[in-house]
Amino acid sequence: MSAGTETLPRGGEMPANEFLKQLAAVIRAEDSYGSWDGKPDAELLEEYIVTAEERREMPIMGDPDPDLLWRVEKFYEAVALLLEKRTGAMAAQMSKIHHEGFGRIVLISGRLVVLSKHVRDIHRFGFETYVRLAEAGEQASRDAADMIARFPDAASA
Amino acid sequence: MSAGTETLPRGGEMPANEFLKQLAAVIRAEDSYGSWDGKPDAELLEEYIVTAEERREMPIMGDPDPDLLWRVEKFYEAVALLLEKRTGAMAAQMSKIHHEGFGRIVLISGRLVVLSKHVRDIHRFGFETYVRLAEAGEQASRDAADMIARFPDAASA
C-alpha cells in the first residue's frame, strides 16, 4: 500500500501552529502528575475535533457536559495567553452559559471587552480538522488584538 | 407610648429613592401571578437588609445559596436599568462566582466594562439599612455612568 492511499487521521494532519501549541500547553498545565507527558499534542487536542459525520449524529439540542465546558474554557484561555504574548495585554475570561448550551463568552482586558462571542448549541463545539481549530484560535486572538489597537485607553484602564 | 420611643423597623425607614424603586420593580417583574401585589416595596427588599447583629452571627466562610445569588443578580440588574434610564446605555451583566463565594461581577455596555466588582464573602451580601442599600445602588450606577462618559466610543462599539 503506497502512502497516497493511506487515510488521513481523524482531524487531518496537525499543522505547526502557535495557537495549537498554546492550547496543548494550557491542557498540559492541568496534568499535575505528568500522566500525559508521553502523549503527543494531537492526542491531547483530539477532543476538539468533531468531524462532519460526528456532527450529523449529534442531537440538535443538548445539554453541554462539564468536560465540554472545560474544553471551551481552555480554548479561550489559550486565546487569551496568545493575545498576551503578542500584545502584552492580559485578559480575563468570563462566561454565562445557560444549561441548555447558549450564552456568551467574553475576554476582558482592563475595561475593554476584547472578545465577545455569543454561542449557541455549545454541546456541538468542535472543529472538523486541526487546521480549522488553529484558524479559529488565531482568528479570535487577532480579533482581540484589533480591539485593543482600536481602544487602547480602555484596555489599559 | 409616644412615637418618639418607638423602635425603628429593621433596616430603618425606607427612603423615597429611584434605585430602591427600580430594585423593587425588578423583583416584582418576577412575580408572574401577582402574589406580591399587596406587599409594600420595603417588604420585597427586606432580604437585602443584614443588620450588624445579624452579620456578626454569620459564619466568616460560607457557600452562597441560590436565593442570595438571585438577590445579587437583581441588585446589579437594577443598577443596569437605572444606568439605562440615565444614560441610554444598555448594559448586560456577567458574573463568575466561585461556589465558595468569591468572584467578579461586571456590567458590559457595548465593548466597555462599565462596572467591575470583585466580590468576596458574598454569602454576607446585604446592607444595614435601606438608606445604605440605596446609596450602594446609586453609587454603582454613577460609577458606571462615569465610565461611559470616559470611554463613550468603546461603550457604543
Taking domain B13-31+40-155, whether its CATH number is 1.10.1330.10 is answered by no
The answer to whether the CB of B130 falls within 8 A of the CB of B13 is yes
Confidence (pLDDT) at A61? 80
Element (H, E) at A43: helix A41-44
CA-nearest of B122, B108, B68 to A105 is B108
Confidence (pLDDT) at A97? 87
User: CA-to-CA distance for B53 and B59, rounded, in angstroms?
Assistant: 12
With a threshold of 0.85, tell me whether the complex ipTM lies above it: yes
Cβ contact (<8 Å) for B151 and A154?
A: yes
From A106, A147, A153, residue closest to B108, measured CB to CB: A106
∠ CA A31-A34-A38 to the nearest 5 degrees?
A: 110
Using one digit for the tens of pLDDT, what is the confidence trace for B82-102?
999 999 999 999 999 888 888
CA B136 → CA A47, B1, B23, B54, B83, distances in Å? 46, 35, 12, 19, 13
Segments in chain B forming alpha helices (H): 18-28, 41-44, 52-57, 66-87, 130-150, 152-155
Using one digit for the tens of pLDDT, what is the confidence trace for A21-53?
999 999 999 999 999 999 999 999 999 999 999
∠ CA B38-B40-B46 to the nearest 5 degrees?
A: 125
Q: Where are the domains of chain A?
A: 13-31+40-155
Confidence (pLDDT) at A85? 97
Can you name the residues that pair with B94 across neighbouring β-strands?
A: B106
CA B60 → CA A98, B46, B50, B102, distances in Å? 30, 22, 14, 12
Residues of B with CB under 8 A from a CB of A: 92, 94-96, 104, 106, 108, 110-113, 116, 147, 150-151, 153-154, 157
A chain contacts of residue B157, beta-carbon cutoff 8 Å: 150-151
